[in-house]
Chain A
Amino acid sequence: MEHGQRMADGRKRWLWLVGAAVWLGLPWLVFGNNYVLSTLILIGLYALVSTGMTLLMGYAGQISLGQAAFYGIGAYASAYLTAHADWPSWLALAAGAALAALVALVVGIPVFRLREHYLALATLGFGVIMFTFFKEWKGITGGLNGFFGIPPIHIAGISLQSDLQFYYLVLLFVLAGLWFAHNIVRSRVGRALRAIHGSEVAASSLGVNITKYKLQIFMLSAVYASVAGSLYAHYVTFINPDLFGIVPSIYFLIMVVIGGSSHVWGGLVGAAVYVCLGEWLKAVVPLLIPHAGGEFEIVFFGLLLVVMLIYMPNGLSGVLSKGMKRLLETGRRQKREAAVDSRQAGSIGGGQG
C-alpha cells in the first residue's frame, strides 16, 4: 500500500514535471506568435486568481463573489505606486499583495462569521463597494476614464516589455502559486480546511480554529488575486474599473467551477478552458450569427455554468483526475498482470523442469 502510494506520488511528480516542461516549451512551439502568447499570459494570470479561489472554495468550502476586488487592489496599487510614486515594480507588487491581505483580514473577520447565502451576499456587497471606490476615487484610480501609462515591470535592471519575457515571468508565478497551493493542501492547514468543508461543527469540536483558518485562506486567495492584478496592470499598461467589478468576479467563479475546485490545478484548467473558449467563441460566433458580436459569450458561459454544476459538479479536474487515475490504474494492472503471467510461466516452466 505504502509502496503503491509512493509510486503514485512519483508519477504525480513526473506529471508535474511534464506539465511544466510543456508550458516552458509552448512559446517555442508557437514561434513568438503574439496572439497565442498574450492568450497564454492571460490564462496564466487568471489561473493565479482562480487557484487562490480554488483553495477558498474547494478546500475551505467558502464562496466569494467579490474576488475581482482583490485583483483590482493589486492592479491599482501597482499602477499608482509605479507610475506616480516611482516605486520599483516588484516592491509595488509586494505592497499590493500586503494591502490585499490586510483588506481581506479586515473584511474577513466579520464576513466569515456568516455562512451560505449571507456569505455570498456579503462578498458580493464587498465587491460592489470596492468597485465604487475604484470608480469614484479619481485622484488615485483615474475614475471611469481609467489609469494610463503604467510602466512595464523591471527586474534586475531589465524591463520586461516583450510578450515572451512576460510569459516566462507569469509562468514562474503560476508554477510557484500552484506549488505553494499544493503544499498548503497537503499540510496541516489543508487537512483542517477539508475538515471545515466537511462539517464546521465537527471540525471545531476537534479543536480546529475555524475562523482562523478561513481567514488565512481568504487572505491567501486575496494575495493570489492581487499579484495577478499587479502583473496584469504592468502587462496591459492601462486599467479601468470595469475590469474589477461584479461581472469579472463572476467570471473568476465560472473558471473555478469549470476547472473544478477539488484539485489544486483545477483553477489552471478552468482558466485555460475559459480563455480558450472565449477566444474560440469570438472567432466562431460571428460566422454563425453575424450580429451577435462578442457578447454571445455571456449566454454561453451562463449555460455552461448551469450545466456544469448540474451534471459535472466536480468540474473538469474531477473528470480529468478520474480519467488519469483509470489510466494509471490500467497501466499498473497491466504491469501486475504481466508480472503474474511471467511468474506463472516461470513456475510452470519450473514444474516441467
Chain B
Amino acid sequence: MEAWSQFVQLLFSGLTIGSIYALVALGFVITYSVTGILNLAQGDFAMLGALLCMTFVNSGVPFAFAIGLSIMAVMAVGGLFERLAIQPARRSSVAVLIIITIGVSFVFRGIALLVWGTDPYALRPFTGNEALRMFGAVIQWQSVWAIAISVVSFIALHVFFNRTYLGKAVSACVINPFAARLMGIDIRKMSLGAIAVSAGLGALAGIVIAPISGASYDMGMMIGLKAFIAAVVGGLTNAPAAIAGAFLVGLLESFAEGYLSSGYKEAISFGLLLLVLFFMPNGLFAKMTGKRV
C-alpha cells in the first residue's frame, strides 16, 4: 500500500511538472515553427510571469486580474524582444540567433535579479490550501489546476490553428512563407504574434507552477531547458508530440527523483535528450509528424 501511494504521488507530481513543461514547450514549438528560431529565453518568460503575478497580488490586485495582467505584460515583453532582438538579426546564421536568445535570457535574468533579488517568493495557490486525497496519496489542488490549464490551453490552441482565419494564416506561414506572402499575409506580424503568444504561454506556466515550487529569478533556465528537451523529444515542430514529450520528461524526472536520487534527475532528462538526438533526430514520435503546428 505504501509503495502504491508513493507511486501515485510521484505520478501526480510528474504529471504536474510535465504540464508546466508542456505549456512552455508549446510556446517553443509555436516560435520555432513560425520563425525557425530556437528561443533559449523561453523559460525566462515563465520566470517573469511568476514574479510579476506575485508582485501584482502582493500590491492588492485581485488574483484573477493579476494573472491576466502579468500574462499581458509578459506578452508585451515578448513582442519587444521580437522587435528589438530578433528582427534586426533575421538574416544571421542559426548559431548567431541562438546566441542572441541566450543573451536575451541573461538580460531577463539580470533584470529580475535587480528587481526581485535572489530570494525565492511564494505565490498563493489558486484555490484553498487543503489537499485532495486520492488513491492513498495527497494531491495538491494546484496540481489539478496545472494539468487542467495545460489541457485547456492545448485545446484552445488547437481550435485557434484549425478553426480560425488567423490561425490558418499562421499555419500558412509555417508551411510555405513565400506563398503566404503572395497571399497577402504579413510574415513579420506573424512572427511578432507567434513570439508574443509563446511568451504568454510561458508566463501562464510560470504562474501555475509558482505556488508549488516558488518563483525566483533563476527558475527560467531549467524550465526552459526541460521544455526544449520535451520539444526535441517530440520533434521540434509537432505540438501534440511536444506535449507527450513534456509529460514523458516530467514523469521520468519525478520517478527518477523518487526512486533513484534527486541529484541525478537533471542528468537523466538530458541523457534522454542526447539519446533522442543521436538515435531519433526527428523525435520519438516522428510518425505523427504531418504538418507543423
Residues on A facing B (Cβ under 8 Å): 57, 61, 63, 65, 110-111, 113-114, 116-118, 120-122, 124-126, 128-129, 131-133, 135-136, 246, 250, 253-254, 257, 289, 292, 295-306, 309-310, 313
Given A296-B114, A298-B106, A302-B106: A253 touches B99 (CB 8 Å cut-off): yes
Q: How large is the interface on B (under 10, 10 to 19, 20 to 34, 35 or more residues)?
A: 35 or more
**Taking each of A305, A306, A310, which has the highest tally of chain B beta carbons within 10 Å of its own beta carbon?**
A306
Given A114-B277, A117-B38, A302-B104, verify A257-B99 contact (CB < 8 Å).
yes
Q: Is the CB of A309 within 8 A of B92?
A: yes
Q: Which B residues lie at the A interface, using CB under 8 A?
A: 38, 85, 88-89, 92, 94-96, 98-100, 102-111, 113-114, 118, 221, 225, 228-229, 232, 236, 261, 263-264, 266-267, 270-271, 273-274, 277-278, 281
Say whether chain A's binding surface is mostly helix, strand, loop, or mixed: helix
Closest to B38 in A: A117
8 Å CB contact of B107 from A136, A289, A302? A302
Contact B266 A128 (CB under 8 A): yes
A48 smallest CB distance to B (angstroms): 21
Q: Do A110 and B232 touch across chains, with their CB atoms under 8 A apart?
A: no
Once the chains are docked, how many angstroms separate the CA of A289 from the CA of B114?
A: 10
Q: Which residues of A contact B89 (CB under 8 A)?
A: 309-310
| B278/A128 in contact, CB under 8 A | no
CA distance A245 to B114 in the complex (A): 22
Residue in A114, A116, A132, A301 whose CB lies within 8 Å of B95? A116
Q: Which residues of A contact B266 (CB under 8 A)?
A: 128-129, 131-132
Contacts of A57 in B (CB 8 A): 95
The answer for the CA separation of A6 and B273 in the assembled complex, in Å, is: 50
Q: B207: shortest Cβ distance to chain A, in Å?
A: 23
The answer, among A124, A257, A297, A302, for a CB contact under 8 Å with B105, is: A302
**Considering the complex of A and B, which 6 residue pairs feature the smallest CB-CB distances, nearest first?**
A302-B106, A299-B110, A305-B103, A298-B110, A302-B107, A132-B267
Q: Is the CB of B98 within 8 A of A120?
A: yes
Given contacts A125-B277, A309-B96, could you give 19 more A-B pairs where the C-beta distance is less than 8 Å?
A111-B278, A113-B278, A121-B228, A122-B277, A125-B274, A135-B263, A246-B221, A292-B114, A298-B113, A299-B111, A302-B103, A302-B106, A302-B109, A302-B110, A305-B102, A305-B103, A306-B100, A306-B107, A310-B85
Taken together as a complex, chains A and B put the C-alpha atoms of A132 and B277 apart, in Å, by 20
Residues of A within 8 A of B102 (CB): 65, 250, 253, 302, 305
